[in-house]
Amino acid sequence: MRKRTLGKSNLEVSETGFGCMGMSHSYGPPKDKAEMIRLLHAAVDRGVTFFDTAEVYGPLINEELVGEALEPYRGKVVIATKFGWEANPGDSGKWSALNSRPEHIRAVAEGSLKRLRVDAIDLYYQHRVDLNVPIEDVAGAVKDLIQQGKVKHFGLSEAAAQTIRRAHVIQPITALQSEYSLFFREPESEVMPTLEELGIGFVPFSPLGKGFLTGKMPADTTFDKTDFRSTLPKFSPENMKANYALVDVVSRFADQKKATPAQISLAWLLAKGTWIVPIPGTTKLDRLDENLGAANIELTTDEARELEEASSKVKLQGNRYSPFHEQLVGR
């Protein structure tokens, strides 16, 4: 697999990474640990060197899974994790409270290091911007961890352009992770031009629209209450039916290229810039192979533009998140 460098940093990763969240969090109950370890090993065998997790996934058990699975490959893979949440005593112990105070960052970094079984965290993202803590203080805390050798690179997730600029002054940002796909293109207006200007890499999560762009999800799909898509307005029954027009567009392009809709969706992201590294997630080996096959599909500039223009004509229905999570992004 080809490699890419995230922005102007020296952090080199496989051009397609692996989002590990769904193995333990958000998409139903945690999956079988031994099976997921085998899948992560298979990803490494296929050339994937970039793996994404977070302390809140599980919580904690996803970091433990990734740490155990990738311990034999220490020094050969890059593991990104995230800080910024804590248990909320007023909400039945759920991790629904933001906390990016410097003392909290220092404390939770130690826990992540132990769970990941590493001496230093390769890429440490603030998971969501905490308005109670100046972003300069957050960047400064991670800068201290970098100077101590406990963290190698600093990142932000779902931050607004101005927040990115402020943080970057204190500690250069290696990558921003945010949702981006043909199903959600909001970062194109302000965030992506800022990243390109500053030389910051972009790591799109949910590059397949939380599974929607695979074409494997019928328009009348309903989700179990353990699947967080059941709370997302875009995935309500009426909005799913309306939004399926986008899947039809992507599927037509896939047929032309003798590829799958998932592969076309990922190939489009890869064609957007060499500083962009998507991190599709899966719990199945055949889906892993399908996703990685996108790297073999070359979209010309004209083809990518044609796909964008056709996709833009579909008026997507529904907000991305519930009101609670909507307020946590883009700030």
For 246-262, letters b (16+ CB in 10 Å) and e give bbebbbebbeeeebbbb
Residue 180 designated active-site: no
Task: Give strand pairing partners of 80.
Answer: 52, 123
Residue type, 160: A
DSSP 293: G
Please tell me which residue in 27, 57, 124, 244 is annotated as part of the active site: 57
Contact 28, 227 (CB under 8 A): yes
Residue type, 77: V
Distance CA 316, CA 221 (A): 17
Pairing of strands 78-83, 85-86: unpaired
> Strand, coil or helix: what is 80?
strand
Beta-carbon neighbour count of residue 273 at 10 Å? 14
* Catalytic (active-site) positions: 57
